[in-house]
């Protein structure tokens, strides 16, 4: 199991050897002896955190609100730097769901989460506990991924899909890394602007303009973590200038771009989700051996 070392963070990380059978699903496994004050950086996906180990993660969502154990959160959770995770002896699988499939998998639209971190028990009832038990009984990470992939595919098949026009609009935003004019999306699907905006918000949990900003921020933040210069990232990602990028990063995370590049939540992505670019040489020298470890076939 590859090890991620970044500052004080030391985590074991595993990813599936094969892609999910369900488009729009990615997942990674984590074993973390000491999870200290991890800032949850906003991400354009619905996040499921399924824990099954001896410890239990605690997610602080601000204003004294706290969730323990397995949770689900809508896209963009953590804006403003308000959400933190902590724990000891944590073993969990993190699943990222495209908002376009999350409605079917969850059984409710992401909008019903209302921007909150919700206990999975409250959403799925006893099924959440059964999942935890099965994950703890399965002996390997790859078997856990297979088990969860089958579960997600089954729930997706039985759940209510989003409108094809809404899914298409989301895919356009995601594929362009947020470089799309939202005013043109409605015309392209043949709907009125009001209709698309209302359906998009109700079914995916965020407005189209917010989706564009979130996808653009995520793409820019990962390029910064990979070592690219902020001025180049700002120009390529569609920001007016470097100051515009700075303001967007501050709005989403509550910290500056220089601080964001050191956030473990983002820095681990090259290993947990191998399609992400790894940081530039020298950004985290202690982690370098894990970068060079070949992935299992």
Task: Give the model confidence (pLDDT) of 71-103 as tens digits.
Answer: 999 999 888 988 999 999 999 999 999 999 999
Mean pLDDT in the chain?
A: 89
CATH 1.10.10.60 fits 164-259, yes or no: yes
> Start-end ranges of CATH 2.60.120.10 in the chain?
3-161+265-290
SS3 category, 279? coil
| Most confident option among 105-114, 267-276, 282-291 | 105-114
Residue 279, C-beta contacts closer than 8 angstroms, at least 6 positions apart: 225, 226, 227, 267, 270, 287, 291
Residue-level pLDDT at 277: 57
Indicate if the pLDDT at residue 296 is higher than 90: no
Q: Which residue has the higher pLDDT, 64 or 264?
A: 264
> Which of the four CATH numbers 1.10.3720.10, 2.60.120.10, 3.30.2130.10, 1.20.1250.20 does domain 3-161+265-290 have?
2.60.120.10
Q: Please name the residue that has the structure tokens 């303009």.
A: 209
Residue-wise pLDDT tens digits, 205-260:
999 999 999 999 999 999 999 999 999 999 999 999 999 999 999 999 999 999 99
**Cα–Cα distance between 269 and 259 in angstroms, integer?**
16
Q: Is the pLDDT of residue 17 over 80?
A: yes
Q: Of the given ranges (62-76, 151-165, 191-205), which has the lowest mean pLDDT?
A: 62-76
pTM: 0.89
Residue 261, classed as helix, strand or coil, is coil
pLDDT in tens, 110-165: 988 877 899 999 999 999 999 999 999 999 999 999 999 999 999 999 999 999 99
Residues carrying CATH 1.10.10.60, the chain:
164-259
What pLDDT does residue 183 have?
83
pLDDT at site 294: 31
pLDDT level of residue 287 (50, 70, 90 thresholds): very low
Q: How confident is the model at residue 297 (pLDDT cuts 50, 70, 90)?
A: very low
Question: Is the CB of residue 186 less than 8 Å from the CB of residue 196?
Answer: yes
State the Cα–Cα distance between residues 31 and 287, nearest whole angstrom: 16
Which two three-digit tokens encode residue 163?
């409108």
Sign of CA dihedral 177, 179, 182, 187: negative
At 171 the pLDDT is: 96
Q: Is the pLDDT of residue 285 over 80?
A: no
Count H helices, E strands: the chain?
A: 14, 9
Query: Cα separation of 59 and 65, whole Å?
Result: 9
pLDDT surpasses 80 at 289: no
Rounded distance between C-alpha atoms, residue 29 and residue 11, angstroms: 10
pLDDT of residue 279: 59
Could you give the count of Cα atoms lying within 13 Å of 152 in the half-sphere of its Cβ?
Answer: 25
Residue 174 has pLDDT above 50, yes or no: yes
Q: What is the DSSP letter of 206?
A: S
């Amino acid at each position: 199991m590859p090890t991620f070392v970044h500052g004080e963070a030391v985590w074991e990380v595993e990813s599936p050897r094969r892609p999910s059978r369900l488009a729009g699903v990615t997942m990674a496994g984590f074993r973390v002896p000491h999870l200290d004050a991890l800032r949850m950086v906003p991400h354009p996906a619905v996040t499921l955190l399924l824990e099954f180990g001896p410890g239990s993660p605690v997610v602080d969502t601000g204003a004294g609100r706290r969730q323990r154990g397995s949770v689900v959160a809508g896209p963009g959770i953590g804006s403003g730097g308000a959400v933190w995770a902590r724990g000891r002896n944590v073993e969990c699988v993190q699943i990222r769901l495209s908002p376009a499939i999350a409605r079917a998998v969850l059984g409710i639209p992401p909008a019903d989460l209302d921007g909150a971190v919700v206990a999975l028990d409250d959403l799925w009832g006893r099924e959440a506990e059964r999942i935890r038990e099965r994950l703890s009984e399965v002996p390997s990470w790859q078997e856990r991924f297979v088990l969860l992939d089958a579960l997600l595919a089954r729930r997706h098949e039985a759940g209510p899909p989003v409108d094809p026009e809404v899914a298409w609009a989301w895919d356009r935003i995601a594929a362009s890394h947020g470089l799309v004019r939202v005013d043109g999306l409605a015309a392209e699907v043949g709907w009125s602007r009001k209709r698309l905006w209302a359906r998009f918000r109700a079914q995916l949990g965020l407005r189209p303009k917010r989706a564009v900003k979130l996808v653009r921020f995520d793409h820019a933040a990962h390029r910064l973590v990979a070592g690219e210069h902020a001025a180049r990232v700002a120009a390529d990602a569609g920001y007016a200038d470097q100051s515009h990028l700075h303001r967007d990063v501050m709005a989403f995370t509550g910290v500056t771009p220089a601080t964001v590049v050191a956030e473990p939540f983002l820095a681990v992505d090259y290993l947990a989700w191998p399609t992400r670019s790894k940081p530039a040489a020298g950004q985290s020298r202690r982690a370098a051996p894990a970068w060079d470890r070949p992935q299992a076939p």
